[in-house]
Structure 1
Amino acid sequence: MNAESYRLYGGNPSPYSRKLRAILRYRRLPHVWKVGTPDTLPEIAQVRPRLIPVLRIPETGELRVDSTPLALLLEQRHPDQRSILPPDPADAFVCHLLEDFADEWLTKLMFHYRWHEDATADWASHWIVRDAMPAATGKAHDQAARMFHERQRGRMAMVGCTPGNAPVIEASYERLLDVLGPFVGGAQYLFGSRPSLADFALYGQLAQLTIDPWPQRVCRARAPAVESWVITLDDAAGIEGEWQPERGAAVRKALLEMVGAEYLPFLRANAAALDAGRARVELEIRGRAFVQEPFGYQQKCYAELRRRWQSLDAAARTTLEPLLEETGCLALLA
């Protein structure tokens, strides 16, 4: 390993691990990918909170977590090496907003489709154990897979993946495929012919949704080009492109409509529930009830999005206000 290489600890079934690995690959930043196994986990045992991915900074050995701050850290450390942030401030804001939507809303889709259906849940639990515990075989493997299966299904209500919320979640996945399907393919990304932070966040969730059996079937039937786009973006080191935001204007607008109708209403209701000390977030999304426990991290996400909006210069806000108003986002960010 090169002395200047990053070390990225994660897992193949982790959307955020795949997101950051794809960013490192695209940016051609020397790194070593280390799956979190019993052999490698002692190297990151001191990390808190216990999340993946974990990135080891080469010069200091410092271990850092959380894919979005890590992606932004890489921007600070390598500002001139294939940046994934559009240079225009208004475009950069939309990029951050769509990345947050992918990380925090689309992960509900990923979790629902992975654990709701028995056959896919069984497949996923065995894949995850093979990835994290490659030495386990026979009864040891089966027992670990069964325990992980039960643990994850026990967490479904906490992240909003309940039978009652299933119609909202499944309609959201179908809508996402309908938006992306006609657009992706070739060198088509949200802000031109080069991928952005928002593209990599979409990729992270879709890398799971296009490999787990049930959502893969849905994708192949509804928007097969999306799976091909995901495969290409897994290693985009060879892609050369330009920022051409006019090319992706229509698909960004359609995604922002999803943000304004689905994600930001949830964030506002979640923040209100936490502020009021309520045990449940309750709202309607596109005319359907959506209920879950409030989630503190997503309150921070909402505050950060609103901070970013307020910190934009007047010219960028003026540029974006008509688009954000038309897509239902503006009032929820003000």
Structure 2
Amino acid sequence: MTAPYRLIGSTPSPYSNKLRALLRYRRISHVWVPRTVAVEAEIAHVKPQIVPMLRFPEETDYRVDSTPLAHALEARHGARSVVPADSADAFLCHLIEDFADEWVTKIMFHYRWYYAADADFAQAWIVDEHQPGADANRRAQAMAYMRERQQGRMALVGCTSDNAPIIEESFADLLAALEPHLNGAAFLFGSRPSLADFALYGQLKMLATDPTPQAVLREKAPRLDVWLRAMDDASGVEGDWRESGAKPAPAIAALLGLVGRDYLPFLAANARAWEAGEEEMAVQLRGRRYAQAPFRYQVKCLSALREAFAGLDAGSRQRIAPWLETAGCLEAIDAQGVSA
């Protein structure tokens, strides 16, 4: 019998939840291993030290980064694909997944460490999972270290007091975009979940668990809260992709509007600042100044989106270009003017 995949992750990690839910939906045999002190020696050599870490059945080492892992699984397991069959929808799926992984995670991180009640909750959750059975003194020290470390990173990733109104408005608009549509058996690209659904799920599950955003989500988006619970294990879902060539569903159109308003202007400003060697990137979002340190990884994200758009067949590009333009996305993505 072939050994199952071995997934090491953490329940407070949005990306761990994303990949675990994807494995469950695809009915891929795997063993879930919480990242506790008991497994640290096993994974000490893995670079970078991020979760989730996935070991393939025939391999001895672990791979990291949820998006490449999802695509590696897509290439190996044909059944129950999470990438829409229509190439234009596959690109939109890529764009929304990237938005969830790189922008919605700022919303998650902001709420988790900005408010005292959430930081209290998170530090205990993280430490108690990683060090089960720690005595009171060790637990208190670990929690204080975790809180100081994470809050010390807030300015680096843009989760500052100055940026807080932008981030919280973006969260409210995200809930408004999804609540009317993602409920019951509905998903972004049909009656089956896509990689974009799983990426949103990973971040939103954290926001539906941490105290302050949980209260907001339950008040503003109660049906979305139920959808998140269903997404945790969608192994019983049977469904189809939406009709090829169809106009964007309302949820997709609303999400593209958020991508064009918040995420792509941030990515473009980040790329300009990185390439100019600047220590700070700044951009006007929602009528306010948003600033943080530029990141190389997000330069790669923008490049990957542009390459994916340019790699579409001409018909698919021309079909979705008006949708992207309406949402304010096209200029940043179509840097070479290939849609013309």
Same fold (TM > 0.5): yes
| Residue matched to 1:332 | 332
Which stretch has the larger CA shift, 187-196 or 57-66?
57-66
Partner of 1:197: 195
- Name the residue aligned to 2:111: 113
Larger deviation: 258-267 or 58-67? 58-67
Partner of 1:321: 321
CA distance in 2, matches of 1:180, 1:160: 24
Equivalent position amino acid for 1:286 in 2? R
Match of 2:10 in 1: 11
SS in 1 for 2:328: coil
The answer as to 2:291 corresponding to 1:294 is no
Q: Which amino acid aligns with 1:223?
A: A
**Could you tell me the TM-score, scaled by structure 1's length?**
0.97
Determine if contact 1:9/1:34 at 8 Å carries over to the other structure: yes
1:299 corresponds to which letter in structure 2?
A: V
Q: Distance in 1 between matches of 2:87 and 2:252?
A: 15
Alignment match, 1:30: 29
Which amino acid letter does the alignment assign opposite residue 324 of structure 1? Answer: L
Cα distance in 2 between the residues matched to 1:137 and 1:206: 32
Q: Tell me what 2:54 maps to.
A: 55
Q: Is the 8 A contact 1:27 1:237 kept in 2?
A: yes
**What are the superposed Cα offsets for residues 97-152 of structure 1, whole Å, 9 maximum, x if unpaired?**
00000000000000000000011101110011111111213121121111101110
Letter in 2 for 1:57: F
| C-alpha contact 1:105 1:263 (8 A) present in aligned 2 | yes
More moved, 288-297 vs 236-245? 236-245
Residue 163 of structure 2 aligns to a residue whose secondary structure is helix
Task: Say which is worse superposed, 276-285 or 239-248, in terms of deviation.
Answer: 239-248
Match of residue 76 from structure 1: 75
How far apart are the structure 2 equivalents of 1:119 and 1:250?
35
Whether the aligned pair in 2 keeps the contact of 1:192 and 1:244 (CA below 8 Å) is yes
Q: Which amino acid aligns with 1:175?
A: D
Match of 2:221 among 216, 220, 223: 223
* 2:124 equivalent to 1:126: yes
Distance 1:281 1:164 in 2: 14
Alignment partners' CA distance in 2, 1:78 and 1:93: 20
| CA distance in structure 2 between the aligned counterparts of 1:73 and 1:224, rounded to whole angstroms | 34
Maintained 8 Å contact 1:189/1:248: no
Q: Comparing 139-148 with 19-28, which one deviates more in the overlay?
A: 139-148
What is aligned with 2:145? Answer: 147
Name the SS of the counterpart of 1:283 in structure 2: strand
TM-score under structure 2 length normalisation? 0.96
User: Could you say which residue in structure 2 is the equivalent of 1:274?
Assistant: 274
Tell me, in whole angstroms, the C-alpha distance in 2 between the residues paired with 1:194 and 1:137: 45
What is the CA–CA distance in structure 2 between the aligned matches of 1:177 and 1:102, rounded to whole Å? 13
Unmatched segments (≥5 aa) in structure 1: none
Deviation at 1:61, TM superposition (A): 2.0
Instruction: Check the 8 A contact 1:192/1:248 in 2, yes or no.
Output: no
**C-alpha separation in 1, matches of 2:149 and 2:267:** 26
**In structure 2, do the counterparts of structure 1 residues 215 and 209 end up closer, same or farther at CA, with 3 Å as the change threshold?**
same
Runs of 4+ in 1 over 6 A off after TM superposition: none
